[in-house]
Chain A
């Protein structure tokens, strides 16, 4: 067994520097690496390029980094629900690259799986395809999209073991698996870290080979963005 555990978030984020490109898992506030984000705010690294489907809300998730002006560029598919983000984008302080959601996911996976680029139909004929190579396959047009390049991936899982194997829960899985192994160093934080051998190998979602550092996360808030419920009788 190759041990991937680190003692804490400080050790997990060692080497994170100004100007780097980070991938961050999560969809909305669901499945985001809360501990890593909090520590990035604390150490104050800046001029960051962040690849994440969304940009958090004003006072949580990536919104915390935006507030401290630590992000230079965001690569996302949807950035609503964040007033500070909108203000920084419209004033030109923040560079934003909007990417179709499926393309964003695949650009992570391509980096993970060793593909330099791939063709997708998404965005053909729109401003997303401007300046990109296009090609026809079987009578349909496709756009060439390149794999992401990133220094760190920060992901969050439900359970993980000392070997870096990960299991996710519900829709908190989202972009996290594709970001594992898609950057120089993948840092996984988990709600429950267990000894090697405690997780059933049949149930692993991400094998530990894609994870370099894993740590036991703490104080998860797991905020709900849109609470929608039926009143019980």
Chain B
């Protein structure tokens, strides 16, 4: 079974040379730490920066340079700043190659819910609805089950949706799965996890064909 860093490490393998990538808050943010350094990638943050670098050294932080999580950041050579309209033009216009974000629930048809728990958590969708409605290439980083042990990979989402039929790939602590017209297709299992455990942890339709390889991370 993978921890959060393990999930991020596996997703980092999906980041290809020449990609512009938008990382959501949480596990997706960790992906930047594991991207190979022999490829060229630029990270976009929807509040208005392309070419995000690591956190600044103590004392060098600048209140005017933050990411979408409101954390102080730095920029790398080749970076640019822009306004919110331009930023979402990049996203809506499909100029961003890969979007990685977290989810509370994903359904077997690719629906995603990650912004609201009625009566409990109403913080807002931020840029998530624009991102999932527009991106061609969306990877969801999430735990396979919730704290009560219930599956988060469902036949149908129970929470208010963020977007419909948009998720293509999911990386969880247990598995890598593709979302296909027939349901979740199991591609890889996490180290030390059996196919049986993945079957038990998946409520939505799960397609298991042939031998399932273990993730190489």
Contacts and interface: CB of A to CB of B under 8 A. Distances in A.
Given A109-B85, A126-B162, A173-B48, A224 B130 contact: no
A80 B127 CA distance: 14
B120 to A, nearest CB: 10
A14 to B, nearest CB: 27
B133 to A, nearest CB: 4
Contacts of A101: 46, 84, 88, 125-127, 129-130
B192 interface: no
Nearest to B123: A80
A98 B118 CA distance: 13
Interface size of B as a range = 35 or more
Contacts of A224: 61, 63, 66, 72
Contact of B63 (A30, A125, A229): A30
B59 A122 contact: no
Contacts, number: 181
Contacts of A105: 83-85, 87-88
Contact of B72 (A80, A174, A227, A232): A227
Nearest to B125: A100
A102 B71 contact: no
A230 interface: yes
Nearest to B164: A125
Contact of A229 (B58, B65, B128): B58
Given A78-B126, A100-B125, A230-B55, A171 B65 contact: yes
B26 interface: no
Contacts of A168: 81, 83
Interface residues of A, number: 58
Question: Chain B CB within 10 Å — which of A100, A120, A228 has the most?
Answer: A100
B124 A98 contact: yes
Contact of A121 (B65, B82, B92, B128): B92
Given A101-B46, A232-B58, A177 B85 contact: yes
Question: Chain A CB within 10 Å — which of B54, B63, B125 has the most?
Answer: B63
Interface in A117-132: 120-128
A76 B142 CA distance: 26
Contacts of A102: 46, 84, 87-88, 91-92, 127, 129-130
Contacts of B213: none
B48 A28 contact: no
B155 to A, nearest CB: 17
Contact of A175 (B83, B125, B126): B83
Contacts of A193: none
B160 A126 contact: yes
Nearest to A105: B84
Nearest to B113: A126
A123 B126 CA distance: 11
A120 B161 contact: no
A4 B98 CA distance: 43
9 tightest CB-CB pairs across the interface, nearest first?
A102-B88, A102-B130, A125-B164, A80-B123, A170-B64, A105-B84, A100-B129, A121-B133, A222-B63
Given A173-B81, A228-B55, A230-B57, 18 more contacts: A27-B68, A29-B63, A77-B125, A101-B88, A101-B125, A102-B87, A103-B130, A106-B88, A121-B92, A122-B129, A124-B163, A125-B111, A125-B165, A170-B65, A171-B48, A173-B48, A229-B57, A229-B60
